[in-house]
């Protein structure tokens, strides 16, 4: 038996509870992992609270991230005792995830734990930080350099935004943070933000084109925020889009793209190929100041994840939440 959060849906309704789960209930897979830490992400919040149609099968263990030690393996790359990491691949949606003390998974979804990080540190980064790195890599790939101008980071006090600020500032970019919580201004500046702007400047319907300012952007919001970011991006600037915290819609015009040559680059971390994942984690090892992870993250126990999921959905959580599943 092992402890885990289990989401169930039946005639009694939709519920997420902390339970004792029998090993025989684990799903199919060629690697069994004794999990040490997971995380609480926006997608996990949607799954636990039922506020979004994230879970595709029931019952489901949420948790899109995990780190732990291999207990059993028939996969050629992994043997018992190996420390491994997982982000995405539909775990917590279609396949049981990391918010439990055990997981059985496909070995093709796993990566060896990067040598630069401890298990807790790698979860302080998690899917959010790895997604932030994918955004920075996309900016680089499209030729955006520090001397080209400011990089806007929306949802900056969240997990993606916090890591994006830390990485961009270390790489020499001038990063500008957008937040709906002005009380977090000093926190954001400590991560490397040169300026902090209020979300209200971006959250209402805007013009098809605005004054050019941003050389690039990391957007987690979508909706009017993304539309306004694109409208104020400089000629041939690049906007990376990786989230929908402000909505799935995109109420914009084609003007930024056909008149200013702006690139809108979509970032998907869930099904991202393993080769790209390895590059992202390698770069996080060199381009993220590990000391800033303590500012970005907090550690909680498995039982605390349930009430924190509701706070996360209400925008009350700053940075990253690491879940010690044995605490």
pLDDT 10s digits, 233-252: 999 999 999 999 889 999 99
- CA nearest to 148, candidates 174, 178, 177, 176: 174
Q: At a CB cut-off of 8 Å and minimum separation 6, what does 133 contact?
A: 163, 167, 280, 281, 283, 284, 287, 288
Nearest to 136 by CA among 321, 317, 248, 281: 281
Return the bridge partners of 155, or none. none
SS3 at position 43: helix
* Residue 263, CB-side half-sphere exposure with 13 Å CA sphere: 17
**Given this model, what pLDDT does residue 317 score?**
87
Q: What is the pTM of this model?
A: 0.93
Task: Write down the residue that tokens 């279609």 correspond to.
Answer: 94
CA-to-CA separations, 187 to 92, 121, 181, 253, 296, in angstroms, rounded: 30, 19, 11, 34, 9
pLDDT given at position 294 = 84
Please give the Cα distance from 316 to 166 (Å, whole number).
21
pLDDT of residue 301: 96
State the Cα–Cα distance between residues 219 and 11, nearest whole angstrom: 39
Q: What pLDDT sits at residue 319?
A: 86
Rounded-to-integer distance, Cα 40 and Cα 57, Å = 19
Instruction: State the CB neighbour count (10 A cutoff) for residue 22.
Output: 9
Q: Round the CA-based radius of gyration of the chain to a whole number and report it.
A: 20
Q: What is the pLDDT of residue 293?
A: 87
Instruction: List the Cα angle 148/164/106 in 5-degree steps.
Output: 130
Q: 2-113+293-324 has which fold?
A: Quinone Oxidoreductase; Chain A, domain 1 (3.90.180)
Mention every residue, 6+ apart, whose C-beta is less than 8 A from residue 322.
37, 38, 39, 120, 123, 124, 126, 297, 298, 299, 300
How high is the pLDDT of residue 68?
98
3-state secondary structure of 266: strand
The answer to whether 2-113+293-324 and 126-266 have equal CATH topology is: no
Q: Give the pair of three-digit tokens for residue 9.
A: 């849906």
Separation CA 306–CA 56 (nearest Å): 19
Bridge partners, 105 (sequence order): 31
Which superfamily does 126-266 belong to?
A: NAD(P)-binding Rossmann-like Domain (3.40.50.720)
* Domain residue extents for the chain: 2-113+293-324, 126-266
26 to 9, 94, 104, 105, 292: CA distances (angstroms): 18, 13, 6, 9, 36
Encode pLDDT of 138-150 as tens digits: 999 999 999 999 9
CB atoms within 10 A of CB 105: 26
- Cβ atoms 35, 325 nearer than 8 A: yes
Task: Yes or no: say if 175 and 151 are a contact pair by the CB < 8 Å rule.
Answer: yes
- Nearest C-alpha neighbor of 216 from the set 242, 234, 194: 234
| Euclidean distance between CA atoms 70 and 83, whole angstroms | 6
CA–CA separation, 82 and 268 (whole Å): 27
- Burial label for 110, CB within 10 Å (0-12, 13-18, 19+), is buried
Predicted local distance difference test score (pLDDT) of residue 52: 85
Residues of the chain with pLDDT under 50: none
């Amino acid at each position: 038996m092992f402890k885990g959060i289990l989401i169930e849906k039946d005639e009694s309704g939709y519920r997420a509870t902390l339970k004792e789960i029998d090993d025989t209930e684990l799903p199919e897979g060629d690697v069994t992992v004794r999990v040490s830490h997971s995380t609480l992400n926006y997608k996990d919040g949607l799954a636990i609270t039922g506020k979004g149609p994230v879970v595709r099968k029931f019952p489901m263990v949420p948790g899109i991230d995990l780190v732990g030690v291999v207990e059993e393996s028939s996969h050629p790359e992994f043997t018992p005792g190996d420390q491994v990491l997982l982000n995405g691949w539909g775990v917590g949606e279609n396949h049981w995830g990391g918010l439990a003390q055990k997981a059985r998974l496909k070995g093709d979804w796993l990566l060896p734990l990067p040598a630069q990080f401890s298990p807790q540190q790698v979860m302080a980064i998690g899917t959010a930080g790895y997604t932030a790195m994918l955004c920075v890599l996309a900016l680089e790939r499209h030729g955006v350099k520090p001397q080209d101008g400011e990089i806007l980071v929306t949802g900056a006090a969240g997990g993606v935004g916090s890591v994006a600020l830390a990485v961009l500032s270390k790489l020499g970019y001038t990063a500008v943070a957008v937040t709906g919580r002005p009380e977090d201004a000093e926190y954001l500046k400590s991560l490397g933000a040169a300026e902090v702007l209020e979300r209200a400047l971006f959250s209402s319907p805007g013009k098809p084109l605005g004054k050019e300012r941003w050389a690039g952007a990391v957007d987690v919001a979508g909706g009017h925020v993304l539309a306004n970011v694109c409208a104020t991006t400089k000629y041939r600037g690049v906007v990376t889009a990786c989230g929908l915290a402000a909505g799935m819609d995109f109420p914009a015009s084609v003007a930024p793209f056909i008149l200013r040559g702006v690139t809108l680059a979509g970032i998907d971390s869930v099904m991202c190929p393993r080769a790209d994942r390895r590059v992202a984690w390698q770069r996080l090892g060199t381009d993220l100041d590990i000391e800033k992870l303590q500012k970005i993250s907090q550690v909680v126990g498995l039982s605390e994840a349930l009430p924190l999921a509701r706070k996360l959905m209400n925008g009350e959580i700053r940075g990253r939440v690491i879940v010690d599943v044995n605490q």
